[in-house]
Structure 1
Amino acid sequence: MIARNTYVWCLVFILCALSPLRVSANTSFTDVHDRYWAKDAIQWAADVGITSGYPNGTFKPEQPITEAQLVTMLVRFDLNSPNSFPVKKGEYKMMGNYRYLAKHHLPLRGLNSGSARNSAVQRAHAAKVFAAYHGKDLYAQEAVYYLYTHDLANGLTGKNDYQDFAPNRSLTRAEAVHIMHQMSKNIGRHIQGLSSSATGKDHAQYAKPPKFVEEDEIEFERPVQPSLPEIKPEQKVEIDIEKPTLTANGIDETFITFTFRDCNGELIPYEQELEFEVTSREGARIEVNPPIPELVNPNTPPINKPDPKPENEPKPEPGLPKEPEDDPDREFAESIASLESASSVAAAAMTWNQYVLSDGPEVTVKVIAPRTPTEKVDTITITLVSRVGNCSLPTATANITYVPRAEIQLDITDGVNSNKGTTFVTATLARPGGAVITDFNGYLKVDSLYSLPFDSSFVRFHNGQATTSFITPTALVKNEIIATAIANSSVTDSAVQSILEKRFSAPVSYAPPLTTDRTCTNQKPEIGFLIDSSGSMIRNDPQRYRVTKTKEFIETLQADINIATHFTTSGMFLKKGTPTPVMDSLKGVKQSGGTSIANGLKMAFSKFSTSQPKTLILLTDGKSSKAPILTEVKKAKELGIKIYTIGLGKNLDTELLETIARDTRGKYFHIKENIELSLVYQSILQEINCGIPVETCSLSASIFESPSVRLVNGDIRMNTELLTACGPIDKVIVRFSSKDGNVDYELTHRRQGIYMLNKKRYEIQDFLLNPNATFIAYDSSGKEIGQQKVQVEQ
């Protein structure tokens, strides 16, 4: 018996020795159990230092990973880098890591956006990031296929097609470390990155198998950081894009301003001009100093014409079949032969390039979208032609996305001759890419934010167009025209279906004519005008109101002696004399180059000659060195020249402009938009003629900055920021209207001109039938000093 037991125990011992050693399957995290599918990957990530979890000992494997968390893990995953990169004083704590990955052109959205950093990462976008980490610039679908083919991820059911990847679902923390674990085993941990911004240029290397994407599935690639242009860590460039996404119709446009710093991190002086070359990779039209129109009506917004048709379109060689579209799943249903031809021309053509002079540190360009039937991401590149002393400024890039959309295009023009005093609105139905829809059976419904008196609010479409009109306003108005297409019969055309019942809008602004009180008998001064011609004016005054309204000022005042001057880095003389020749000379005002207010003042002062009262009006949108300006102000005091200063926009040295006006017995005016120049000129005219200025708050809406009323779940959120140009503000209300009356809510003043209030939707449910709400501001005496109507955002 003893011998048998000894045999049994020896056998058990041998079997145990031959069996694999099983250790505890528990990980170092309390919420990752021993049978969790990603347990091994999570423990590996902890062991190699990619993650340490949360302070309470958990990992939260099913929690969506934020972009900032993914960035941290990727930097630690990379064997070429330390565990983290330092940040500058006052920066977001992850910015060093972001800059490092941006240097490798990973398609991250949070480089300049706090909300993107703290938002969950979609699985499709994460696939693009992981592919870019290993040097593959792919669209989302190709990036998912790349993960499958390299055994980095699997679908949810094992079908392993695009939908099986759940592309629109958020990536979890467990899924992120699982993919990194597979990357470390199958490819490696050293980052390769991309050589330039992610645009999907490698997608042809990973042709998707048949049925990878369902035939009726259309996915439009999200543009890579469209509103957050790439900023390399070594670059000292700030980039401001007015609209990062444009409709690809040959008309839509946006402004981009690049702001450079020298090698010491200081802004380039505004008195300095540098020459840059600007290019568009996709052949978009670039305007850096648009042609100056002979006649500009201040009531008429500029109308951009479509790109001219190329003269020499390449024709396919006979006998060769047309190549299939690389990405049929991202293609619109409509196939427009003319647009495909134009697109092929643009692709084959050289990049569009222009040369531009900087306004000191700033370079502003206008980009006009090309006509294209497929979505494209363009790169606008700006390169310094010459050096700044021993400092070589970096090349800077900004991404613009062109999206073909079916739309209603609105063309707004003022009538001439017998139709003078009438504004015409022409609506055109357009397919994605800009081709006109000529066979629509229906009518146009037209409306406006502030009740314009349309001749007809319902107009039939004929050959894709419908036209109505209204009497041109004679008061200063900022309005919005809203157009909707209504069908008279059933519609099968998908382009038309996407337009129906949708609201399309276009802003319109009207400046009142300048007038003068002929009963006043003040002596008219010798009057001079000093107008900013720097490059930033292309964006701040694209309609050139500073020219048209100055002409109107001269014509209305009818002074005997008028002086016209303008300035960039130097002061330039245009004309002196009676109104007509001086008005004609103002066509020489431009928008290119730097800003030297001092040199402009010096030139203007040199042209004053008589002993009668002297007045100068200085209009600028920029900054300039203070010391030389103050020297010129002393001369103005000695010469008895009164200076009115007008600051346009936000990038101003307000204190300096106020000093110039105060020290010369003049007055300073600030206007947010160029259309408001009419108010200031009217006030100055009245003071010159009668000695009593008029109030400049006639445009009551101008005191409101970004007012909004939004419906968020069950709440109504009202907020606005107020400017105090019209004096102290006592209270702000939001008024909702219905057929039974009004209800007013007073907003709470939170801080520094910010007014806010939240209410429950059910409290004013009956008043929400009207889609508009009105902000009203009052001073301490109860006088209304501002009013602006807004649409309630759903």
Structure 2
Amino acid sequence: MRHVKKAFLLLFCFVLTFVTVVPATTQAATTIQDVPTTNSKYAAISWAINNDLMSTNSANNFLPDGQVAERDVVTMFSKLDKNYALTYNESVAYNFYSEFYLPLEGTFVATNRSKTITRGQFARIYAAFKGLDLDEPQAVQYLYINDISTGSTGKKTFADFNPSTKLTRGDLAVFLYRGVQSDSFAVQGLKKAASGRDNDKITLPAGFMGSTGEEFEEPKDNDNDFVGPPYVNNALQAIDIEKPDLIANGEDKTLITVSLKACNGDPIADDKSYTFRVTSTHGATIVNTSGETVRNVQSDGSTVSAIVVAPKLTKSARDVISFELINNTDPSMKCLVGEKLNANVRYAPKAEMRINFEVYDPKNLGDTDGDITPPYPTREKLPEFFTENLVDVFWIDPEEKKFSIGQQTNVTNALGAVENKYLQYGGSDAAYPALGYKHAQLQFENYDISVYLFEKILKHRLDNSVTKPAKTEIMYMINKDGNPIYRIQGIDDSIASQVENINPVGSIIQLMSHMPEEKKLTIEHYDSVMKIYAILSNLSNYDRTVLLKYQGGKLLGQVEAYKKRVEALKESADAAARPNGKDRYTKVMVTLVRPSGEIVTDYQGTVKITFDGVEKTASFVTNTSDYLTNTGGPGTAVAYFDSILYGNSKIEAELVDKVDPRYATILKDITNTTITKEIFTNPYFSKNVCSLASEVAYVVDYSSSMRAVDPTNYRGTKTKELIEQINAKNNIVIKTNTKAQLLKEGDTKTVMAHPLYKDQKESGATDIFTGVKLAISKFSDDQKTSKSIVVVSDGKTSKSSLNETIAAAKKQGIKVYTVSMGKKSQINEKILKQLAEDTGGTYFHTSNQMQFHKAYQTIIDSILCKKVYPSCLNGGDLFDTSTVTIRKGIITMSARIPSDCPGVERVVVRYSSVSGDIQFDLTKRSDSVFMLTKNVQVMQDFKINTEVEFIAYDKDNNLLSSKKVKVSS
């Protein structure tokens, strides 16, 4: 009898366990009048009612086609969420989930909570709840993969899911019912705002977006390459794709710019800004100028642009990049609501020879020139069978940089069967050795930390573990690059209680507790100190105040002191690492890349590198790390050149000797080919020739349109150099777009201690006068200081405040110097010229980085010497226009010089040919125009190249400028 009771008890326990993990499918206690039991959704709806997720009305009708508000979804999630232990109050639930960055529109705007959501929005929210940051196509596929949805017809395509259709009560009941059946329902969430960072983790099947072709289509003969309903095209003027064909390597990028008008065809004001969602049908990433992934972009007046990064692919593909107006309240843009403006780009895998460079000049230590410095980062092996969740750490070996981690997980055995077991890497099973962590992304709380700190914290926690064997928990995730993230969590209660539970402040204190004394710091601690300082630099004013209260502010000074010491140590180490006998150099690095985007690390051969007329041959070296001992990084060939060319120059590279036979086919596209890279090395300013007590304001445009004209943020880098060079008594540093923001003011030392324009991102519309008026309000009443404002913009701005601003500047004796960037045809020069000239300043137009440097050099001399210098900048842009055309046997040569560039006495057009050069002097028709026509027969004895050169001279025959152009016919 005892055995029977025991068997019955075991059976009862099993049934209880089963009931807790599988939703009950019994009939609802109340008959549902409008959903018959034969309805395919009945089981799910009945379950939702029985579990108090949904209810019927007074007539016992469920209303399965009723639409669902976002607040309903949030409340139901909280009721099912095993990690949620609070009251089921709407505001409490929103506050709880705000820490998990679910893509909810009502988190901070309460009025959005009552808005209905679409099926596609639900897919993104559900995926984020499960820990995946996905765009709608990938989120829908995620629902298909996990049997949450089967689509409307079973085809399981994006369109079959009806993503733009409003979510109904019946839909939601089914999705949640299946979700609880298929998996434990507990929030995992995201670590930052949703932007599609995990799209590469979900593979979209062929034809998922409606196309079944694997190869991309032939491009159509369409300059704008845009589509839209006829009534939308009244608003849509053009879509410009900087580079429609990209290498499918995960790095190649292009800028797409959409030009718009209002729906009635009227121009859009330059100070207007609208938000657009940008999506890709083929896994491309949308980034800002800092390289951060974004989902939404803001327009600047009539233009909206986005930077698209190609995915890594092994086959060619065609992608559709869509811009969709969202959050619109302006009736003049109503025709764009719900419409997608599409641009086509194409991806093709291609072998590459990447050229990177680095410059060292002891006279210009404040600047770091170069692009990317190999070696390329190594990825750590992922714990293959682990899910992204908590893992146990059993031991860590700082010498080998390996650790032992374990998790209860599903493992596929040798027979292909799946078994649930506790798997430990670095445990007793030799099939699962310990894993490396050195090249993983290591974090404490949400902050990146160094290998040293990671080891110290884990060792401390293992040493103080109360379990046997000793163990501690960390979070395991995978970042967008496919590298593991290992995150240590938990600030000590004793620390948290003293700093109001403010995470960044508590993190700084806890991390510093693992650092040695200042006098014991070595270069090994450089990364650790800089990671801690990065957290400190991003503290809000309130957080900084809390840190100052901790131990009387001692720790804040300690972090600053640590930073100074390790920077000095690094400077000494860098000096010791430089090549002997090379006081200044340009370092060139060449790396080979497979068509898949993967770096070649074992190529056996050499490359010829040419820079500044000097040729050097370098070997591709493997499995090493030190360039200066004739070894180098994996797969990288390195050559040092004694010269530095400030400004524009080029580097050439060509594979020499016999090509490594293992790569003969893979690298065929770059074999017997010279690869050229145009580079720019930032010049430094000349020593100041004058000194004058000054107050200077810097107003720099960071509106959305600046993304196109200055993608590398050269204006930010150079303006910080300008501030240091002028060394004004008072500096007023302002960023402007739709509104103006004062970044910092004070003496030069004070403002230079802050990042200023370094990390600024473009957004919004343009109103430079908001920035100029803020600057004017910040000047002192000191009559002994000269007062100037430097304005940098592409000139797209409203002119409504022009006269008012000029009058205010003149009243205080403030000179305004304006600098435009970009193509003249796209700049509102009239406004910028008038603002400068009417206040006694100067206007400069710059179309490249070298001209921008020259403009700033002239502004330095103008402010400190109190003189007026010409605005003309010698260089290629001295010519407003320069053309050579051949029509009906007549060659017409024409050049136009800007009116603000006097002194051009003579213009020559030079043709080069295999038979020698031939040139013509153009006739001076006016101060600005030079022209000449010739019969084409004068060229009959010459084999002329299609590229010709215009050269400008002054009255003393000094060369002022030259520019090369193509002959057109």
TM-score per shorter chain, which class? 0.5 to 0.7
Residue 532 of structure 1: how far off its partner (Å): 0.5
SS of equivalent residue, structure 1 residue 506:
strand
Q: Name the structure 2 match of 1:458.
A: 617
Residue 581 of structure 1: how far off its partner (Å): 2.4
Q: What amino acid is the match of 2:952?
A: A
Please say if residues 645 and 661 of structure 1, whose CA atoms lie closer than 8 Å, have aligned partners that are also in contact.
yes
SS of equivalent residue, structure 2 residue 654:
strand
Q: Name the structure 1 match of 2:320.
A: 379
Note the alpha carbon deviations across 1:46-95, whole angstroms, 9 max, x for none: xxxxxxxxxxxxxxxxxxxxxxxxxxxxxxxxxxxxxxxxxxxxxxxxxx
Note the alpha carbon deviations across 1:193-239, whole angstroms, 9 max, x for none: xxxx99992559xxxxxxxxxxxxxx985234585422433322221
Alignment gaps of 5+ in structure 1: 1-196, 205-218, 293-351
1:590 has 2:761 as partner: yes
SS of equivalent residue, structure 2 residue 770:
helix
Which structure is higher in RCO with an 8 Å CA cutoff and minimum separation 6? Answer: 1
Q: Name the structure 2 match of 1:656.
A: 831
Q: Name the structure 2 match of 1:645.
A: 818
Q: Name the structure 1 match of 2:655.
A: 485
SS of equivalent residue, structure 1 residue 400:
strand
Q: Name the structure 1 match of 2:133.
A: none
1:601 has 2:766 as partner: no
Q: Name the structure 2 match of 1:230.
A: 226
1:679 has 2:888 as partner: no
Q: What amino acid is the match of 2:804?
A: T
Residue 242 of structure 1: how far off its partner (Å): 1.0
Please say if residues 285 and 369 of structure 1, whose CA atoms lie closer than 8 Å, have aligned partners that are also in contact.
yes
Q: What amino acid is the match of 2:737?
A: T
Out of 741, 746, 763, the residue aligned to residue 572 of structure 1 is 741
Q: What amino acid is the match of 2:303?
A: E
Out of 863, 866, 869, the residue aligned to residue 691 of structure 1 is 866
Please say if residues 533 and 591 of structure 1, whose CA atoms lie closer than 8 Å, have aligned partners that are also in contact.
yes
Residue 501 of structure 1: how far off its partner (Å): 1.7
Please say if residues 515 and 556 of structure 1, whose CA atoms lie closer than 8 Å, have aligned partners that are also in contact.
no
Q: 1:677 to 1:276 in 2, by over 3 A?
A: same
Please say if residues 562 and 582 of structure 1, whose CA atoms lie closer than 8 Å, have aligned partners that are also in contact.
yes
Q: Name the structure 2 match of 1:361.
A: 302
Q: Determine the C-alpha separation between the residues in 1 that align with 2:796 and 2:951.
A: 33
Q: Determine the C-alpha separation between the residues in 2 that align with 1:220 and 1:716.
A: 43
SS of equivalent residue, structure 1 residue 563:
strand
Q: What amino acid is the match of 2:304?
A: V
Residue 402 of structure 1: how far off its partner (Å): 0.9
Q: Determine the C-alpha separation between the residues in 1 that align with 2:841 and 2:311.
A: 47
Q: Name the structure 1 match of 2:807.
A: 634
Residue 716 of structure 1: how far off its partner (Å): 14
Deviates further, 358-367 or 776-785: 776-785
Residue 442 of structure 1: how far off its partner (Å): 4.0
Please say if residues 405 and 431 of structure 1, whose CA atoms lie closer than 8 Å, have aligned partners that are also in contact.
yes
- The Cα RMSD (Å) is 3.9
Residue 759 of structure 1: how far off its partner (Å): 7.7
Q: Determine the C-alpha separation between the residues in 1 that align with 2:742 and 2:671.
A: 54
Out of 392, 403, 425, the residue aligned to residue 588 of structure 2 is 425
Q: Determine the C-alpha separation between the residues in 1 that align with 2:774 and 2:851.
A: 27
How high is the TM-score relative to the length of structure 1? 0.57
Q: Determine the C-alpha separation between the residues in 2 that align with 1:468 and 1:733.
A: 38
Please say if residues 516 and 686 of structure 1, whose CA atoms lie closer than 8 Å, have aligned partners that are also in contact.
no
1:763 has 2:941 as partner: yes
SS of equivalent residue, structure 2 residue 800:
helix
Alignment gaps of 5+ in structure 2: 1-206, 361-367, 369-573, 623-634
Residue 255 of structure 1: how far off its partner (Å): 0.8
Q: Name the structure 2 match of 1:90.
A: none
Out of 588, 595, 598, the residue aligned to residue 435 of structure 1 is 598
Residue 608 of structure 1: how far off its partner (Å): 0.8
Residue 468 of structure 1: how far off its partner (Å): 2.0
Q: Name the structure 1 match of 2:286.
A: 286
Note the alpha carbon deviations across 1:641-662, whole angstroms, 9 max, x for none: 1111111113221111111111
Out of 610, 614, 624, the residue aligned to residue 447 of structure 1 is 610
Q: Name the structure 2 match of 1:413.
A: 358
Note the alpha carbon deviations across 1:393-437, whole angstroms, 9 max, x for none: 242111111121222122223357435843322222223222344
SS of equivalent residue, structure 2 residue 749:
helix
Q: What amino acid is the match of 1:512?
A: P
- Say how many residue pairs are matched: 510
Note the alpha carbon deviations across 1:422-473, whole angstroms, 9 max, x for none: 332222222322234456554323335xxx254x433333455322233563
Q: 1:253 to 1:760 in 2, by over 3 A?
A: farther
SS of equivalent residue, structure 1 residue 495:
coil
Please say if residues 604 and 660 of structure 2, whose CA atoms lie closer than 8 Å, have aligned partners that are also in contact.
no
Note the alpha carbon deviations across 1:378-406, whole angstroms, 9 max, x for none: 11111111225223224211111112122
| Aligned 1:447-526 pairs, distance under 5 A | 447=610, 452=612, 454=614, 456-462=615-621, 464-471=635-642, 473=644, 475=646, 477-488=647-658, 493-518=664-689, 520-521=690-691, 523-526=692-695
Note the alpha carbon deviations across 1:597-642, whole angstroms, 9 max, x for none: 2211221111112323211111111322212222111111112111
Deviates further, 701-710 or 723-732: 701-710
Q: Name the structure 2 match of 1:731.
A: 907
Please say if residues 216 and 346 of structure 2, whose CA atoms lie closer than 8 Å, have aligned partners that are also in contact.
no
Please say if residues 533 and 568 of structure 1, whose CA atoms lie closer than 8 Å, have aligned partners that are also in contact.
yes
SS of equivalent residue, structure 2 residue 314:
coil
SS of equivalent residue, structure 2 residue 592:
strand
SS of equivalent residue, structure 2 residue 597:
coil
Q: Determine the C-alpha separation between the residues in 2 that align with 1:282 and 1:364.
A: 19
Q: 1:632 to 1:719 in 2, by over 3 A?
A: same
1:201 has 2:360 as partner: no
Residue 493 of structure 1: how far off its partner (Å): 2.6
Please say if residues 540 and 649 of structure 1, whose CA atoms lie closer than 8 Å, have aligned partners that are also in contact.
yes
Question: Sequence identity of aligned pairs in percent?
Answer: 30
Residue 685 of structure 1: how far off its partner (Å): 0.8
Q: Name the structure 2 match of 1:188.
A: none
How high is the TM-score relative to the length of structure 2? 0.48
